[in-house]
Structure 1
């Protein structure tokens, strides 16, 4: 795990500069570097045990993996940089279902910084729209760039079982201040909603990840259900009863 900007891969800076310049940025290199440093500082905040620098690196890596399916991969890369640039796990936001990556505020930051770097407004708006789409973690229909970003962000779901287990522990650590029952109930709701989707990934290349992702989610659902039954002393409760969701949920998960 990258715990501070000093431990971040060196290629991040050059990748950022290339993507900005490809998008039409008119700023000089020191200005581009300054904004990159600001973004790295945001991603390196100590409260980000999962949604930190490593997550940013993973999303950018998966964008590269799916880049052939994007119309403009460099805009997708910029959207990846911004998709969780604003983040909070505060209790007040968590109980309002507004914690985690703040896609709306992150999109606003993208507009402010990219316009300041001289990126054309049309390009900036494309980036902002992709970032905002992650509120629902569901790709916009017929938008291949958005599909690539959403799939890259959800790619952790197809991890090998050991890494997936570490992912779930990192998510819990981000919300360590939330009581166990409240956290487990909310997380179970998210997992169950994901499993209710007919497909988890939108791009052709990522469709191969679906089986592994479902296996991980089913494992987590079973573990969370068992834990919640124990916490609530409801050994016979169904998942629908535990979550308050229908047996075939279709609503998107909250980030």
Structure 2
């Protein structure tokens, strides 16, 4: 599968401990396959990696930066518990630092992976090229997905928070989505602004209307 091929390419680029990183890869697959996940599952990981692949030629110049974005994709939702959402990114970043550092990845590469994962907390970066911009946009590709996929994404996220009453969910979810629509541009890279932005705005407007009832 592409996600595994991209993992192997990233491992080759950073020249870490191959045996240790095999174990890390297996642990990450297990995490992404946890039964409580609705949207934040292996399909989401695949879509982020596909989106990064689409952006690579226009937004990422260095192979080392490409490797870091692939690792960030694998780690960014590695810890995912809807009951404690404020901790997920921090714990995922800590997992990335521990797993990569103990397998011989140089500190600068680890720092970049951690920075990319940390940036998913606010989804707000200034760069329009490079790994931060590319990873920001790839993680938000789902907002520009075809209608049926976007609607399934919305339903899957709702399922992850099924214990939350409808009114509270609608209010909280709207507070997350509205700022994206209020931005001058949802995406940072030129490619995503041209190819993904229009449909993302349409999708977001439709979902916010549904949430408002």
Normalising by structure 1, what TM-score?
Answer: 0.78
Contact 1:20–1:119 (Cα < 8 Å) also in 2: no
* 1:16 and 2:2 are equivalent in the alignment: no
1:79 correspondence with 2:72: yes
Q: Distance in 1 between matches of 2:148 and 2:68?
A: 32
Give the ranges of 4+ consecutive aligned residues of structure 1 lying more than 6 Å apart after TM superposition: none
Q: Deviations over 1:117-170 (max 9, x none)?
A: 101011110111111011101224366201100100000111111111111000
- In structure 1, the partner of 2:106 is 120
1:1-255 alignment to 2 at 5 Å? 9=1, 11-25=2-16, 27-28=17-18, 30-68=19-57, 69-71=59-61, 72-90=65-83, 93=84, 98=86, 102-141=88-127, 144-208=130-194, 209-226=196-213
Q: Which whole-Å CA distance do the structure 1 matches of 2:107 and 2:135 have between them? A: 20
Change (3 A) 1:140 1:80: farther
The answer (yes or no) to whether the contact 1:49–1:174 under 8 Å persists in 2 is yes
Conserved in 2, the CA contact under 8 Å of 1:17 and 1:33? no
Q: Quickly say closer, same or farther: Cα 1:140–1:131, change in 2 above 3 A.
A: farther
Within 1, Cα distance between the matches of 2:54 and 2:30?
A: 25
| Structure 2 SS opposite 1:87 | coil
Unaligned runs of 5+ in 2: none
Distance 1:32 1:174 in 2: 30
Unaligned runs of 5+ in 1: 1-8, 227-255
CA RMSD, aligned part only? 1.5
Give the whole-Å Cα distance in 2 for the aligned partners of 1:196 and 1:57: 28
Which of the pair has more CA radius of gyration?
1
Give me the TM-score of the superposition, normalised by structure 2. Answer: 0.92
